Amino acid sequence: GSIAGTGLMQEHYDGHPEARARERLGLLQKMPLGRLGTPRDVALLALFLASPLAGHIYGAVLILDGGESLGFQ
């Protein structure tokens, strides 16, 4: 998923600053939640998976992308 604040795309944006706003808007339009994920979102998922509440989850692929993979337009 698209997680803000991780620095993954920083090198790309450093070389193409005009692309940042355009690409962010394009990403947000694809997300039903209307926002990029945050490192906190990832941490909360990890905490859930490590908790007893996730005791019956095995071998699952969990997508943390704010619904981006649903193809929302």
Which token pair is 42? 């990832």
User: Rounded to an integer, what distance in angstroms lies between the CA atom of residue 33 and that of residue 68?
Assistant: 9
Helix/strand/coil for 73: coil
pLDDT in tens, 17-46: 777 778 878 888 888 888 888 899 999 999
User: Rounded to an integer, what distance in angstroms lies between the CA atom of residue 57 and that of residue 73?
Assistant: 31
Quote the percentage of the chain above a pLDDT of 90.
Answer: 32
Mean pLDDT over 38-56 rounds to: 95
Q: Which residues pair with 37 in a beta bridge?
A: 3
pTM of the model: 0.74
Amino acid at 65: D
- Residues 6 or more apart from 42 whose CB is under 8 A from it? 3, 64
